[in-house]
Amino acid sequence: MILAIDVGNSNIVIGCIDGEEINFVFRMSTSIAKTADEYASGIKSILDFHGVEREKITGVVISSVVPPLTGVLRTAAKMLSGVSAVVVGSGIKTGMNILIDDPAQLGADMVATAVGAISAYKPPVIIVDMGTATKITVLDKNGSFIGGAIMPGVALSMNALSVGTSQLPKVPIEAPPKYICANTIDCMKSGAIYGAAAMIDGMTARFEEELGEPASLVATGGLSGAVYGHCKREIAFDPNLILRGLVIIYEKNTRK
CA distance 208 to 60: 36
CA distance 58 to 196: 40
CA distance 101 to 53: 44
Q: How many CB atoms lie within 10 A of CB 177?
A: 8
* Angle in degrees, 0-180, between the axes of helices 184-211 and 154-163, rounded to the nearest 10: 140
Exactly one of 18, 101, 109, 186 is catalytic; name it.
109
What are the start-end ranges of the H helices in 212-240?
Answer: 224-227
CA distance 154 to 74: 30
Is 109 catalytic? The answer is: yes
Let me know if 17 is exposed, middle or buried by CB neighbors in 10 A (0-12, 13-18, 19+).
buried
CA distance 220 to 114: 11
CA distance 225 to 229: 7
SS3 state of residue 51: coil
DSSP track, 180-223? S-SSHHHHHHHHHHHHHHHHHHHHHHHHHHHHTS--EEEEESTT
CA distance 187 to 165: 15
Residues annotated catalytic, as ranges: 109
